[in-house]
Chain A
Amino acid sequence: MRKLMLGNEAVARGAYEAGVTVATAYPGTPSTEITENIAEYDDIYCEWSPNEKVALEVAAGSSIAGARSICSMKHVGLNVAADPLFTTSYTGVNGGLVIMVADDPGMHSSQNEQDSRFYARSAKVPMLEPADSQECKDFVEQGFAISERFDTPVIVRLSTRIAHSQSIVELGEKQAYQMKDYYKDPAKYVMMPAMARKRHIEVEKRLAALREFSDTGNLNRIEWGSREAGIIAGGIAYQYAREAFGETASYLKIGMVYPLPEKMIQQFAKEVQTLYVIEELEPFMEDQIKKMGIQVRGKDLLPVMGELSAQIIKEKILSIKTEIQPITNDPVPVRPPVMCPGCPHRGAFYVLKKLKMNVSGDIGCYTLGALAPMESIDVVICMGASVGAAHGMAKARGKEFAQKTVAVIGDSTFIHSGITGLIDIVYNKGISTVIILDNSITGMTGHQHHPATGYTIKGEPTRQLNLIQLVKAVGVDRVRVTDPFDIKEFEKAVKEETEAEEPSVIIVQRPCALLKNVIFEGPQAINPQKCKQCKMCLRIGCPAIVDLGDTIEINEALCVGCKLCTKLCSADAIVKR
């Protein structure tokens, strides 16, 4: 059967057909839909783990226990999971272990543009890179076979345009996979110095075997066209190159990006006049090919930043530029992302801006609090960093600064890695205030459950993590709960808690406005007779409230009726439409 599938959905299908037993992940764009789709298969155990490190540890345990296991994350998630990655490389696997990592060139929804291919090289594990949804499915299945044959975890790398593009997939049947027996083998699975030294020898042997496999297996292939230009490319870059060069070049299409097929590359290089490596981000393949003593062009022509495209390749390599006449000379205003109408975070940031707080922010929808008109977040680094960074700022600048500083972090992010920062504050006698924006869901990635929602990925009720008890248990005595739309109460809480010379936590509770069970009363309108044009309502940065010059109006198509604006209107001019 042919089906149109997202790359991520095809990965899930591949896992199913390969007979996977356990799938784990922490959500992260552009990888989230992999595990959401796996959750649709009833015969696979599937979980949202609290973070990527735990996710990989669970998958590693499941692999050692004999089951095929898959663990998925975005590129920065692999930083979190790097610790188990480097050591599972030494232990190897029992049941196959595939690690999915989705890079985000162009940073559509990420805080950096790191190139995950380097992880394969430094952890000495093979990495495959599919170029469309069909290959997503096929490479995951092959990944499991390689994992078991070579006794190694296998990383399959996606990028945004592979993960989030749909293309046609021919579905197959589920393999009858027989789970491996569990056996005790401390020399292989207990990584302490004496054993690890021996395992490192195995890792080097394995790498040599994988190099040969890269040359002889079917993951890398040559497509002959004109031999004037030879192009080495994999993943999405292969598609762009194909689009740009068509039949005017030959292609060495790379499916196994680490280790590279060295003999194949040498032979290909001999047969073509000019050799190009076309790859997004870093010169990962190019550097290795140059080290082989082969002349090749690549990053001397192409950018190391952002996404590639067929037009960039045409322009930079073929010197063909697409000229487009502009329709008007009017400047076109940018449209950055904004907090949704009804978003609970809006109330919180309105107050933090009003109080002129130093705000150490975190990763989630609420990162948008850094943009105009809120402009109240000063620092965002990575998942969970808000808490540690606020503590560091306080330790650097002293008590008075600490009393003007808060950390702001979402519920899911706090569980992911904010809790350890809070333990640090308590342990090391900090006095910082942490504000947990609890919207009852993992928001930005599209509504995934987490330990504090009380439901599993499959929607089954489970023991709900109690955030109040959790922060109390680590030693925070000052804990209070407020509603971000109760602006006065929240303002009071922030003032009092930052003033206190001890650690404090404010849990700000209001569910994400996009959740199905959140029902508002519907669009509001501004009564022009009553409106005094004070423009207070515009200060909350709601996309539904617009200043038309003569009047201020509420866009009926956007307003949900959260009524936060009505709390700022001293003229009572905002009423139900």
Chain B
Amino acid sequence: MDNLNIMIVGVGGQGTLLASRVLGNVALKQSLDVKVSEVHGMSQRGGSVVTYVKMGKKVYSPLIEKGEADVILAFEILEALRWVEYLKKGGTIVVNEQRIDPMPVIIGKAKYPENIIAKLKQQIQNIISVNALKIAKECGNIKALNIVLLGLLAKSTDIAKDIWLEAIREVVPAKILDVNLKAFDAGYLSASDLEK
């Protein structure tokens, strides 16, 4: 297969790191080369965060750059807009319909752009938007929204579902495993609904 470049973008604290670690393990299980580039430290504190997951025969740079992402998994609407130019022509973007106002908006120094998803839909063919927060809440923990989104992503790849489940079992702490497995299934099923 060609290299597959996946970006996970969101707001620090939303669980993007855990999602990228699951993805990395999914790649490992398919005997591919893989690099996952993470964000730690100050920018994790409620800032705009991005992690890169690259897999393929051989991966050199861990970074995905503008126009290179096959898939962007956006945990928040404004972050989808911020990073969309990293999407490859014909690439897929999955947007969680959650709005988190950044501080400049909260203090009135900037405006949160309106109708972002509609604007994205006008220009991008492969776009899926979903209220993952609601699905995660129904599964029993809003923090599992990261795994809901992975479920959604999993459905759009050729990678067998079992591989995803195995990777989740290895990465997610035992205490919260059940709710996350449930969240994965819910995300996976919601993707089927969207296809109909």
Contact B41 A108 (CB under 8 A): yes
Question: Which residues of chain A are near B110, meaning CB under 8 Å?
Answer: 331, 333-334
Closest to B108 in A: A547
Question: Which residues of chain A are near B48, meaning CB under 8 Å?
Answer: 334-335
A555 at the interface (CB under 8 A from B): yes
Taking the nearest CB of chain A, how far is it from the CB of B88, in angstroms?
10
Contact A310 B35 (CB under 8 A): no
Binding-face segment, A62-70, A165-173, A260-268, A285-293: A165-173
Report the bound CA distance from A168 to B66 in whole Å: 25
Contact B38 A6 (CB under 8 A): yes
B105 at the interface (CB under 8 A from A): yes
Binding-face segment, A83-91, A177-185, A237-245, A346-354: A237-245
Report the bound CA distance from A315 to B34 in whole Å: 25
Binding-face segment, B112-120, B148-156, B158-166: B112-120
A528 at the interface (CB under 8 A from B): no
- Indicate whether A328 sits within 8 Å of B113 (C-beta atoms), given known contacts A108-B41, A368-B45, A557-B133: yes
Question: Which residues of chain A are near B66, meaning CB under 8 Å?
Answer: 311, 322, 324
B37 at the interface (CB under 8 A from A): yes
Contact A30 B106 (CB under 8 A): no
Contact B38 A546 (CB under 8 A): no
Closest to A311 in B: B65
Binding-face segment, A119-127, A337-345, A502-510: A337-345
Report the bound CA distance from A108 to B47 in whole Å: 11
**Which parts of B21-52 form the interface with A (CB within 8 Å)?**
21, 24-25, 27-28, 33-48
Contact A541 B107 (CB under 8 A): yes
Report the bound CA distance from A188 to B77 in whole Å: 63
A2 at the interface (CB under 8 A from B): yes
A208 at the interface (CB under 8 A from B): no
A365 at the interface (CB under 8 A from B): yes
Contact A167 B34 (CB under 8 A): yes
A221 at the interface (CB under 8 A from B): no
Contact B42 A29 (CB under 8 A): yes
- Indicate whether A446 sits within 8 Å of B81 (C-beta atoms), given known contacts A167-B34, A243-B60: no
- Indicate whether A328 sits within 8 Å of B81 (C-beta atoms), given known contacts A538-B106, A547-B106: yes
Main secondary structure of the interface of A (DSSP, over half): loop
Taking the nearest CB of chain A, how far is it from the CB of B189, in angstroms?
22
Question: Which residues of chain A are near B108, meaning CB under 8 Å?
Answer: 547
Binary flags per residue of B71-82, CB closer than 8 Å to A gives 1, else 0 = 000000011011
**Interface size (A, Cβ < 8 Å)?**
59
Question: Which residues of chain A are near B39, meaning CB under 8 Å?
Answer: 108, 164
Contact A324 B103 (CB under 8 A): no
Binary flags per residue of A238-257, CB closer than 8 Å to B gives 1, else 0 = 01101100000000000000
Taking the nearest CB of chain B, how far is it from the CB of A49, in angstroms?
20
Binary flags per residue of A523-540, CB closer than 8 Å to B gives 1, else 0 = 000000000000000100
Question: Which residues of chain B are near A109, meaning CB under 8 Å?
Answer: 40-43
Report the bound CA distance from A335 to B42 in whole Å: 12
Question: Which residues of chain A are near B65, meaning CB under 8 Å?
Answer: 309-311, 322
Residue in contact with B37 in the complex, picked from A164, A338, A555, CB distance below 8 Å: A164
Report the bound CA distance from A1 to B185 in whole Å: 30
Contact B34 A239 (CB under 8 A): no
Report the bound CA distance from A367 to B45 in whole Å: 12
Report the bound CA distance from A3 to B101 in whole Å: 38
Report the bound CA distance from A443 to B24 in whole Å: 27
Contact A324 B67 (CB under 8 A): yes
A444 at the interface (CB under 8 A from B): yes
21 intermolecular pairs with C-beta atoms under 8 Å apart: A4-B24, A4-B28, A30-B41, A166-B36, A242-B60, A310-B60, A310-B61, A311-B66, A330-B119, A332-B81, A335-B48, A336-B47, A337-B12, A338-B45, A339-B45, A367-B42, A368-B45, A371-B103, A444-B42, A445-B41, A547-B108
Interface of B toward A, CB cutoff 8 Å: 11-13, 21, 24-25, 27-28, 33-48, 59-63, 65-67, 78-79, 81-82, 84-85, 98, 100-113, 116, 119-120, 123-124, 133, 142
Interface of A toward B, CB cutoff 8 Å: 2-4, 6, 29-30, 32-33, 108-109, 132, 161, 164-168, 236, 239-240, 242-243, 309-311, 322, 324, 326-328, 330-340, 365, 367-368, 371-373, 444-446, 538, 541, 543, 545-547, 555, 557-558
Given contacts A30-B41, A333-B113, A335-B47, 11 further A-B contacts (CB under 8 A): A4-B25, A166-B38, A167-B59, A168-B33, A240-B60, A310-B61, A327-B120, A337-B12, A367-B42, A541-B106, A547-B106
